[in-house]
Chains A and B, each alone.
Chain A
Amino acid sequence: GQQLNQSPQSMFIQEGEDVSMNCTSSSIFNTWLWYKQDPGEGPVLLIALYKAGELTSNGRLTAQFGITRKDSFLNISASIPSDVGIYFCAGQLFKAAGNKLTFGGGTRVLVKP
């Protein structure tokens, strides 16, 4: 089945830094979504990408849908303490038999001590 490789698995940030994470897939998707999950909470949608090559921003967040439809990246600019959490990429393929999301393993963003 489809698999998503998300990297890095974890990263430390310092306030003001830009951070970047990406996902690659073994096969294509129609849609890429990026979610953030805080402890004990459900994933919250950050950005949705619907077309290959699409570049979309949401405040300090920017994400791109790769041309090959097999990858996506998320950038966070000028990070702040509340950016800490786990970020998940998710790919979606629309088929007659459903359109489930396949999730990456997550990128845990932590604050540098």
Chain B
Amino acid sequence: DSGVTQTPKHLITATGQRVTLRCSPRSGDLSVYWYQQSLDQGLQFLIQYYNGEERAKGNILERFSAQQFPDLHSELNLSSLELGDSALYFCASSSRESSGNTIYFGEGSWLTVV
């Protein structure tokens, strides 16, 4: 158990809908990262937050957004869903942003868009 908690574990929704994925980082970790894993693209970085502020953006679509709340949990919002958005979405957390920092992953949220 990495200590990173993600909900829901599985989600099936229709095209055009909107979903929210939730992540609780490890206790004390200030940084949260979101990754998307699909069969053809591998593990792709989406976005990073550090202590409530956006720190880095990767290949995140404009239809997707995220935020980190004062209690450090994070949500990833996916809207106007398309079939191609079906993937495993991972949240990860780390304690700080310096060398020696280690990133731990949650078990992921399986999203199926039908």
Contacts and interface: CB of A to CB of B under 8 A. Distances in A.
B43 A43 contact: yes
Given A42-B105, A45-B104, A98-B56, A30 B99 contact: yes
A63 to B, nearest CB: 14
Interface string B35-57: 00000001101001010000110
Given A98-B48, A98-B55, A103 B42 contact: yes
Nearest to A104: B42
Contacts, number: 67
29 contacts: A31-B100, A31-B101, A33-B102, A35-B105, A40-B108, A41-B107, A41-B108, A42-B108, A43-B43, A43-B105, A44-B2, A44-B105, A45-B2, A45-B103, A50-B99, A88-B43, A90-B103, A92-B101, A94-B97, A97-B56, A98-B48, A98-B50, A98-B97, A99-B48, A99-B56, A99-B97, A100-B48, A101-B92, A106-B42
